[in-house]
A = this chain, B = another copy of it.
């Protein structure tokens, strides 16, 4: 390592690898370049790496944001050839091999009064020799972008805090409501999409209503809340084997979730949702259905698929742009005739592979095609309930849940986060309580002042 640092100082013209995105793909790419004869710049618009598989637990008040997120520059603090930049990507200038960034934060908070004239804006572009795009995906609303505000999805920490706020506020508003129909509407929760995220959200919401909040209200019975999970295909957890997805559906039903499969949401409006011809009056609608790749791919000038993903070469290169690699949810690639799924393992392995291929290119070697190794799938439904599909092992129930717990604890970054999450889970498991039931951010109700303002 020291030897390399010397080398790097003597030869400033080492190739510059720019990585866009500090998620599973980008972070593993940066780590795979540790000690290599390249300079690395990792750019993300958040200062933290997010462990997305546990994000639904932030949205449902079990974990704190700090339990599932770690500062990217802290994770990479000892890797001397990496520089981390907090910035938003505005576009990519392929002719100049340059990433265009937002103009930076020099004006910062002060700009709210008046911008100080003497401050020079920081450089708003970064040149690269190699580029790894790992900017992931956002929600997609089946051609109805207007549903986005009404039916928030779960991709970022701020999404999770918004959902937590909205769910807790629905119970609070119901406690104040005197009209029975309005109360019922406030206590109806619709989750659209029966994949792992939708199943996990529905299970956690059912537990909040039936267990965590049971003693807390005087005018309402939280356990009377109605929780619907809507899935367009015939099954929830459609990618799992038949017996596991049936077990998951049965677990959800036992928790009191109404599982509606083979039916699609045709409207989301102020009142609630429409499923086929049925109107469901619901205050809270959560979106766990479609995703679309990050728009960064658009500035490459190459054809994209319907979900906005970049069709990659087997080497993860972008066709016609040999210096540019795509990994994770923004990358469309087939293996054995099937599209690679949008899961953490595909992103992680892809990031590592792209990094290795760049080092091969630096050394003048030929690049290798990417082979994804599927280690299996896990989904949890609630306290002590999960399904696990790991090679020959296909189990549901408590044992699957233990596997799920250990895999997730083990995958978290940082010893302290592992301890914190483990002790939160031990606490929730034994008391059925959720410690992080805080309504923060934004205004209390529409039309009222910001909650965070001076006392009123």
Taking Cβ atoms with an 8 Å cutoff, the residues of A that contact B are 45-48, 64-67, 69-71, 73-74, 77-78, 83-89, 102-116, 118-120, 122-123, 135-139, 146, 148-150, 155-159, 161-162, 166, 168-170, 172-173, 175-179, 181-182, 185-186, 215-219, 269-271, 283-284, 294-296, 414, 416-417, 419-420, 423-424, 427, 431, 433, 435-441, 444-452, 454-456
Contacts and interface: CB of A to CB of B under 8 A. Distances in A.
A354 to B, nearest CB: 19
B48 A439 contact: yes
A4 to B, nearest CB: 15
Contacts of A114: 269-270
Contacts of A417: 435
Contacts of A87: 176, 444
A132 to B, nearest CB: 16
Contacts of A146: 113
Contacts of A176: 85-87, 104-105, 122-123
B440 A113 contact: no
A292 to B, nearest CB: 8
A217 B419 CA distance: 27
Given A84-B218, A416-B427, 9 more contacts: A45-B444, A46-B439, A48-B437, A71-B216, A74-B437, A103-B447, A108-B166, A116-B270, A122-B179
Nearest to A136: B455
A157 B120 CA distance: 34
Contact of A77 (B168, B216, B423): B216
The 9 A-B residue pairs with the shortest CB-CB distance, nearest first, are: A158-B452, A138-B454, A105-B173, A294-B455, A64-B64, A66-B436, A105-B445, A77-B215, A86-B172
30 contacts: A45-B444, A46-B439, A46-B451, A64-B67, A64-B436, A70-B435, A71-B216, A71-B437, A77-B215, A84-B218, A87-B176, A104-B173, A105-B172, A106-B173, A106-B177, A107-B446, A109-B150, A109-B446, A110-B150, A120-B178, A137-B455, A148-B454, A155-B454, A155-B455, A156-B452, A157-B440, A158-B452, A294-B455, A294-B456, A416-B433
A28 to B, nearest CB: 18
Nearest to A268: B113
B47 A182 contact: no
Contacts of A439: 46-48, 86
Contact of A115 (B162, B270, B427): B270
A119 B185 contact: yes
A431 B150 CA distance: 43
Nearest to A417: B435
Number of chain copies forming the complex? 2
Contacts of A217: 73
B179 A111 contact: no
Contact of A440 (B65, B85, B270): B65
A18 to B, nearest CB: 14
A378 to B, nearest CB: 25
Contacts of A78: 215
A22 to B, nearest CB: 12
Given A65-B64, A172-B47, A446 B108 contact: yes
Nearest to A140: B454
Which of A46, A73, A112, A427 gathers the greatest number of chain B CB atoms within 10 Å?
A: A73
A416 B440 contact: no
Given A215-B77, A451-B45, A105 B65 contact: no
Contacts of A88: 444, 448-449, 456
B110 A438 contact: no
B182 A119 contact: yes
Contacts of A436: 64-66
A151 to B, nearest CB: 9
Contacts of A441: 158, 161, 441
A86 to B, nearest CB: 4
A123 B178 CA distance: 8
B65 A438 contact: yes
A88 B176 CA distance: 12
Contact of A283 (B65, B69, B110): B110
B104 A149 contact: no
